[in-house]
Chains A and B, each alone.
Chain A
């Protein structure tokens, strides 16, 4: 073992993350090398300095209260449950009321849900790019990417290469969205990355439609009656729509 190799190992040793064999080797080296011994003691002193209580920021009380106030109130929940057990008449009324409420909600919620989904999709798009984790499988070949999803998702996403339309397929990724595993196909257009999220849905088919941009990203979604598609990119809206139409056309 020479001193050049030891830097990472000393850190791992100080963190209790070094395996037994290398621990022994490192300990022997540190005993015989003044420089590495010094480095080791430096790390120990630093670790001690970083663990001071004064450096830990505990959550302020008003933050805790605000969060609790934003969660559904347990008191309300209890009274709702009590209402159920009053008597059958009340139950029937509650039931009827719940149905009315549900009908009302189906009319008003989709928009909110769509917005929430759009936010989530933009977050995933940003995350996939910031974490340098755009692709799990890197391939421009649709016949490589498609089987890659076998066993990873319980559906078979249509995979198309759109190189001829200037949107080459560059890979695929498994992602998690809207409370389920989804397939993400990654396309490129010049320097821009497009994430196309796909999951099954019996929603009636719809033509590509653009959403207002959020955080500088454009979103287009459509459905073909079997799958839902959400494309997100920093491409401008026109180009992203072109992409959506190209994909939609190639799939049928």
Chain B
């Protein structure tokens, strides 16, 4: 009775995976950088997830879906923007940035959302994804390591570097007395 199985599969997919469509789109949107491409990536990834739903073992549907979004995105990136390769941040630049930031005191105010958005958007893609997965999706280091297929140490160092870069770009926002 294929139809019943199919219907159950669809129901299960709608109950377990589709509720994470916001997360799928959010990640795709931050990775792709614009709404149109993000919709393409999120749609392709979600339909792929349905096709491979049989492989889902019921651990964490959101992490599972986002893994597919991520893979779909990199395949898409390679095809559509092959020039956008991964950028290596050299440690010397970062050391200088360390010096710049550590001398700044902070205010308790929250930085302006538009400026934060711009600062995140300017991050190299492999840093951007870690920031989204950690700060917006709240995944643990271990979950991010599995999702992004990198060692936990890499997750930690990328996150630390990403934060340095963000602080550097938002330095004015974090000066005493708030935005200048």
User: A residues bordering B, Cβ < 8 Å?
Assistant: 7-8, 11-12, 15, 17, 35, 38-39, 41-43, 45-52, 54-60, 63-64, 66-68, 70-72, 74, 77-78, 80-81, 84, 122-123, 126-127, 130-133, 176, 179, 215
Closest approach, in angstroms, between the C-beta of A57 and any C-beta of chain B? 4
Is B60 interfacial (CB 8 A cutoff)?
no
Partner of B156, one of A12, A58, A64: A12
Q: Are A52 and B110 in contact, with the CB atoms below 8 A?
A: yes
Q: Are B10 and A72 in contact, with the CB atoms below 8 A?
A: yes
Residues from chain A with a CB closer than 8 A to the CB of B102 are: 35, 38-39
Which applies to chain A's interface (DSSP): helix, strand, loop or mixed? helix
Bound form: Cα–Cα A11–B104 in Å: 18
Is B54 interfacial (CB 8 A cutoff)?
yes
Q: Are B75 and A11 in contact, with the CB atoms below 8 A?
A: no
Closest approach, in angstroms, between the C-beta of B14 and any C-beta of chain A? 8
Bound form: Cα–Cα A68–B156 in Å: 37
Q: Contacts A59-B26, A67-B21 known; list 15 others, CB within 8 Å.
A: A7-B98, A35-B102, A39-B102, A45-B107, A51-B136, A55-B136, A58-B25, A58-B26, A60-B39, A63-B43, A67-B18, A67-B43, A84-B3, A126-B74, A133-B149
- Closest partner residue, chain A, to B116 (CB atom): A49
Q: Are A77 and B106 in contact, with the CB atoms below 8 A?
A: no
User: B residues bordering A, Cβ < 8 Å?
Assistant: 1, 3-4, 6-7, 10-11, 13-14, 18, 21-22, 24-26, 29-30, 35, 38-39, 42-43, 46-47, 50, 52, 54-55, 71, 74-75, 78-79, 98, 101-102, 104-111, 113, 116-117, 120, 131, 134-136, 140-141, 148-150, 156-157, 159-160, 163, 166-167, 170, 173-174
Best-buried of A54, A55, A64, A72 by chain B (most CB within 10 Å): A55
Bound form: Cα–Cα A194–B157 in Å: 31
Closest approach, in angstroms, between the C-beta of A162 and any C-beta of chain B? 27
Residues from chain A with a CB closer than 8 A to the CB of B11 are: 74
Residues from chain A with a CB closer than 8 A to the CB of B131 are: 50
Q: Are A11 and B159 in contact, with the CB atoms below 8 A?
A: yes
Closest approach, in angstroms, between the C-beta of B103 and any C-beta of chain A? 8
Q: List 22 A–B pairs whose Cβ atoms lie within 8 Å, in order of A's numbering.
A: A11-B159, A12-B141, A15-B141, A45-B109, A49-B170, A51-B135, A57-B25, A57-B26, A60-B25, A63-B21, A64-B21, A67-B21, A67-B43, A71-B47, A77-B10, A78-B7, A80-B3, A81-B4, A81-B7, A122-B75, A123-B75, A131-B148
Please provide the 3 A-B residue pairs with the shortest distance between their CB atoms, ordered closest to farther.
A59-B25, A54-B113, A50-B135
Q: Are A46 and B163 in contact, with the CB atoms below 8 A?
A: yes
Residues from chain B with a CB closer than 8 A to the CB of A56 are: 22, 26, 136
Closest approach, in angstroms, between the C-beta of A150 and any C-beta of chain B? 23
